[in-house]
């Protein structure tokens, strides 16, 4: 099931990658397909990456060399499909395209999954920090607006209608402050939970990885 989920995500990312130009004109004309294949293998790209290169080079009337590319890519994959690289790729939140052989996945995949676990809880922690900062900034902003409106209400020469509008706005701003404070409380709770999750995952992984 896990491999299916990774493969599904990989297909979506591969579709996105195919929409980008993967090789420049100079690279296409140089025709260093072995060099490109090794680099792609070392980066964990699937063989379908060659199709993207072929599309990029077609506009320059350059066709790829699949044999040279594929052979070099296999060499590159040997540097990718390792325990250490699995951890690093997962830790960085990179996509795994299911490119490693079954015997290599025995080391690569568990490390990748553990790295992704830590990456995801740390992402959640950072998101909670951002949400709290945003809520606190909104509180400060609305409190400044409230003070400005209260000062405006104390001004001279206002009509009753103008004072009523200012009072209505004061009530609106007070409501916005209450909402922002509620958001800040929720964000603090989420931050506490996320911090606990990060500590828990790091503790679980500390004996196997450099966390």
Give 110-146 pLDDT, tens digit per residue. Answer: 999 999 999 999 999 999 999 999 999 999 999 999 9
> How far apart (Å, rounded) are the C-alpha atoms in residues 41 and 207?
30
Query: Taking 80 as the threshold, does the pLDDT of residue 2 lie above it?
Result: no
Measured distance between the N- and C-terminal CA atoms of the chain, rounded to whole angstroms:
27
96 vs 110: CA distance, rounded Å: 12
Query: By the 8 A CB rule, do 139 and 184 touch?
Result: yes
**63-82 pLDDT per residue, tens:** 999 999 999 999 999 999 99
Averaged pLDDT, 81-101 = 96
Please check whether residue 132 is in contact with residue 189, taking contact to mean a CB–CB distance below 8 angstroms.
no
Query: What is the 8-class DSSP label of residue 2?
Result: H
pLDDT band at 14 (very low <50, low <70, confident <90, very high): very low
Phi, psi angles (nearest 5°) of residue 109: -65, -45
SS3 content of the chain, % helix, strand, coil (to 5): 80, 0, 20
Compute the distance between CA of residue 112 and CA of residue 106 in angstroms, rounded to an integer.
11
């Amino acid at each position: 099931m896990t491999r299916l989920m990774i493969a599904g995500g990989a297909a979506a990312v591969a579709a996105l990658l195919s929409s980008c130009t993967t090789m420049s004109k100079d690279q296409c004309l140089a025709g260093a397909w072995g060099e490109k294949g090794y680099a792609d293998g070392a980066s964990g790209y699937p063989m379908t990456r060659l199709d993207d290169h072929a599309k990029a080079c077609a506009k320059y009337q350059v066709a790829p060399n699949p044999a040279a590319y594929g052979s070099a890519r296999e060499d590159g994959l040997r540097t990718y499909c390792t325990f250490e690289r699995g951890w690093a790729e997962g830790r960085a939140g990179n996509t795994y395209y299911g490119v490693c052989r079954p015997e290599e996945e025995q080391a690569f995949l568990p490390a990748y999954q553990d790295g992704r676990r830590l990456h995801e809880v740390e992402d959640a922690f950072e998101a909670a920090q951002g949400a709290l900062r945003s809520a606190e900034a909104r509180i400060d902003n609305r409190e400044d607006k409230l003070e400005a409106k209260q000062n405006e209400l104390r001004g001279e020469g206002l009509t009753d209608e103008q004072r009523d509008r200012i009072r209505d706005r004061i009530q609106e701003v007070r409501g916005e402050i209450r909402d922002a404070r509620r958001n800040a409380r929720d964000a603090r709770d989420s931050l506490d939970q996320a911090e606990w999750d990060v500590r828990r995952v790091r503790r679980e992984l500390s004996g196997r990885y450099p966390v």
